[in-house]
Amino acid sequence: MRNERETRVGIVGTGYIARGLTYALRKDESLGVSRVLTRRNPEQIKDLAVEKRQITTSSQELIDKSDIIVECSGDPVYATAVISEAMDAGLKVVTMDSELQITSGTWLAKKGLITEAEGDQPGSIAALYKEVLAMGFEPLVLGNIKGFLNHTPTIDEMKYWAGRQGISLDQVTSFTDGTKIQIEQTLVANGLGANIAQQGMLGIECVDYQDGAKRLAERADGLGVKISDYVLSPKSPAGVFITAKHEIEQAPFLKYYKLGDGPYYVLTRPFHLAI
């Protein structure tokens, strides 16, 4: 029997992110999956931690049975239509879909509450940003740590990695050729009032991501703006960082707390997991 205090979560999409979310909510006492919306044949869908009756092809059923919507379909055009309908019904929306946010997010935000999940790189940067401001820092770089890029992958390579990792061909290609990081850092720039230093971003290659993070800060300082960018550092953690300055009077205290000599300090979140 459903707990009456449980918030009914409707999920849009049945891919990699949606599967993980259903498993994450399976034992949550305050949140429970109500319906999962799909465009596929529900009988062919596997690996979701829900009962078959909870999978639907009706957006109206999803809306009727939910208190909040989590959108993770990866299709901004389809998602815009579903979310618009949900917002018209007064539902709040959480997305794990940067593509949606930078295409129709501004328009949707005028219809109701829509926010990015705290997780994946944009949400993790936003969470770290709040902490950095609370500690009195002046952010210069809102950064993503990328371990690998291949701007011209072959179709055979992408098919191999899509099969091995269990994600769609479109997704694995966007992760590999740089499309995803461009979209994510655009969302970060739009959401947190930063700039893009140049077309395609700077994307500094480095062994130690902190070295690259400080080099980005030098460029931002030279431009006189806060920037959204990334480093390419294969041996660094799969996380996010913010490079910032602080008041000169705080330098000895920051050095004591192992943040170095300044003037640039790198604050890191070495993961980007959804909360």
Q: Please give the structure tokens belonging to residue 144.
A: 């993503």
DSSP, residue by residue, 198-262: STT---EE-SSHHHHHHHHHHHHHHHTS-EEEEEE-TTS-S-EEEEEE--GGGHHHHHHTT--S-
Give mean pLDDT, residues 234-250: 96
Q: Is 266 in a helix, a strand, or coil?
A: strand
pLDDT at 4: 64
Q: Answer whether residue 166 shows pLDDT above 90.
A: no
Give mean pLDDT, residues 47-62: 96
pLDDT at 106: 93
Q: Answer whether residue 221 shows pLDDT above 80.
A: yes
Exposure string (b/e) for 100-139, b if CB count within 10 Å is 16 or more?
bbbbbbeebeeebebebbebbbbbbbbbbbeebeeeebeb
Q: Answer whether residue 178 shows pLDDT above 70.
A: yes
Q: Is the CATH code 3.40.50.720 the one for domain 7-116?
A: yes
Q: Please give the structure tokens belonging to residue 65.
A: 């049975």
Give mean pLDDT, residues 77-95: 97
Asked whether the beta carbons of 177 and 224 are under 8 A apart, the reply is no
Asked whether the beta carbons of 147 and 203 are under 8 A apart, the reply is no
The number of C-alpha atoms within 13 Å of 165 and in the hemisphere containing its C-beta is 18
Alpha-carbon span 117 to 132, nearest angstrom: 19
Q: Answer whether residue 2 shows pLDDT above 60.
A: no
Residues in the chain: 275
Residue spans of the domains in the chain: they are 7-116, 120-269
Q: Please give the structure tokens belonging to residue 252.
A: 């000895």
pLDDT at 152: 93
Q: Minimal CA–CA distance to 58: which of 91, 93, 85, 76?
A: 85
Asked whether the beta carbons of 31 and 182 are under 8 A apart, the reply is no
Asked whether the beta carbons of 192 and 144 are under 8 A apart, the reply is no
